[in-house]
Every structure is written in structure tokens, then in C-alpha cells.
Amino acid sequence: MGKPVRTCTVGSILARNMRSPSFHELLWLSCAAKRCCSVRTVLPTGGDVWRIATQLQVPPDSFLRTIPAEPGAEDGVLLEPNGRRVHVVLARRALKGRQAACVFLMQLRDEVARCGLGDLRPLSCQAWPAVWATGAVRLDANHVCTCRAWSLADMDREAARLLLEQEAAEREVDRRIIAEWNVQVEAAPHPTYRLTDYCDYLMRAYSVRMSGTSTEGAA
Ligand code: SF4
Ligand code: SF4
């Protein structure tokens, strides 16, 4: 794994912590149920993975797992030549009173849960339940909140738009990284790769990008 580069992420987190939370963030912070964190499958961007791994100083495969991707998915990762593509998502684990939940969800006591990542949580979690659809910020029609009836009026739409644009830009970078990785896997003589091999590749690619020595995928 390449040497972690931390400055830009620390700066952005400090900057965010110095401003007042939006109404949307206050609603999120005050929710003790965090039901959505038990139900959603979170597909982090490569940038999310890089920020979490470098800030927490933990290997990415300690908080990621794979799930099957739909056949031919452009953003599906190959782990063996001609194999089935997978998506790399946040791992889940059993938690008291829940069948399973995001690996970062902390159950403090019955009915009181918190995200252990705070501002480091993936971009899609920060925008949730807002998503980008047909050119605008919208509420996810399938959102799984059991706590309240969300409306777009609850959202800071400009903040959500910026988050979702950053997410889209990082997914575009990820598509290129994954395409390059898949070409190497297809051409490789080894029969299988592990998630940790792909994570090392992703971290190296993002370390170069975040250090500003690459123009690849610059948003
Ligand atoms: S990263 Fe945090 S907000 Fe996102 S699903 Fe996990 S616990 Fe919930
Ligand atoms: S979407 Fe609902 S369950 Fe999830 S944190 Fe917000 S209020 Fe809680």
C-alpha cells in the first residue's frame, strides 16, 4: 500500500467542523435508531475508501466485502480472469437487536445507535436520503427510514448537490481505475486475486491522485 497522504482530507474535515450543521445534519445526528444503516448496502467510492483507510489507519479490506455485480457491470471488479464481477461494499456485522448492520454502526445501548465515522462517512451516507436522479437532487424513492417522513424541504439542496456531484466524479474515477485493474486481471497468469489485492491497487491509485501528482480523473 502506498504511503497515506492526509493533509487535504484533514483540512476538509476541519473546515466542515467549523461551520454550523444544516437542518438535515441535525436530523441525522439526532436519530438514535439509524435504521437505514441496518438495511442499506453502501457502495463507497474509491475516495471514500481512501479517506476512511488513511484517517483511521486501517486496511480497507477490514471494513469492505464483495457482493456479486450484475453481469457486465462496468463498475464491477474482476478477481479472476473471466470470473464474475463483484461490487466492493461496506461490510456488515451482527449487532444487538439487529440482524446485521453496517460495520461502522455502533450500538451504544438498546435503541441508541451512532455512526462511528461521523464526517468521514461515505458521501452517499452524508447525502442520504437525497440522491441524484434525472438531473436533480431528489429523495430516494426506496429509502428505508422508519423514523420520519422525509421531504425535500428537510434537505440543504445545495449541500446535497455538491456531495452528490463529488460522488459522481469519484465514481467516474473509479470506473477508470476498475477498468485498468480488470485489464490486468484478464491478462494475468494467476488464477485468483483477493479483495486485499484490489484494495492495494485502489489505495495506490488514490494516493497518487490525492497527492496531486496525477491529473487523472481530476474533478
Ligand atoms: S457509514 Fe455510517 S452512516 Fe453510512 S451506513 Fe455505515 S453507520 Fe450508517
Ligand atoms: S434516514 Fe431515518 S433511520 Fe436513517 S438516520 Fe435518518 S432518520 Fe434515522
Give the pLDDT confidence of 35-53 residue by residue, as tens digits: 889 989 999 999 999 999 9
Greater confidence (153 vs 18) lies with 153
Q: Where along the chain do its domains lie? A: 7-210
Of the candidates 216, 201, 199, the residue with the CA atom closest to the CA atom of residue 49: 199
Beta carbon of 34 within 6 Å of any ligand 2 atom: yes
Asked whether the whole model's pTM tops 0.75, one would answer yes
Residue 87, beta-bridge partner list? 67
Backbone phi, psi, residue 143, to 5°: -65, 155
Nearest ligand to the CA atom of 130:
2
The mean pLDDT of 18-23, rounded to a whole number, is 75
Q: Output b/e per residue, 123-134; b: 16+ Cβ within 10 A.
A: bbbbbbbbbbee
Average pLDDT of the chain is 86
- The minimum-distance atom of ligand 1 relative to the CA of 40 is 5
Q: Which helix (H) or strand (E) holds 30?
A: helix 23-30
CA 9 / ligand 2 centre spacing (Å): 26
Q: Is the CB of residue 78 below 6 angstroms from any atom belonging to ligand 1?
A: no
- State in Å: Cα 34 to ligand 2 middle: 5
Q: Which residues pair with 138 in a beta bridge?
A: 131
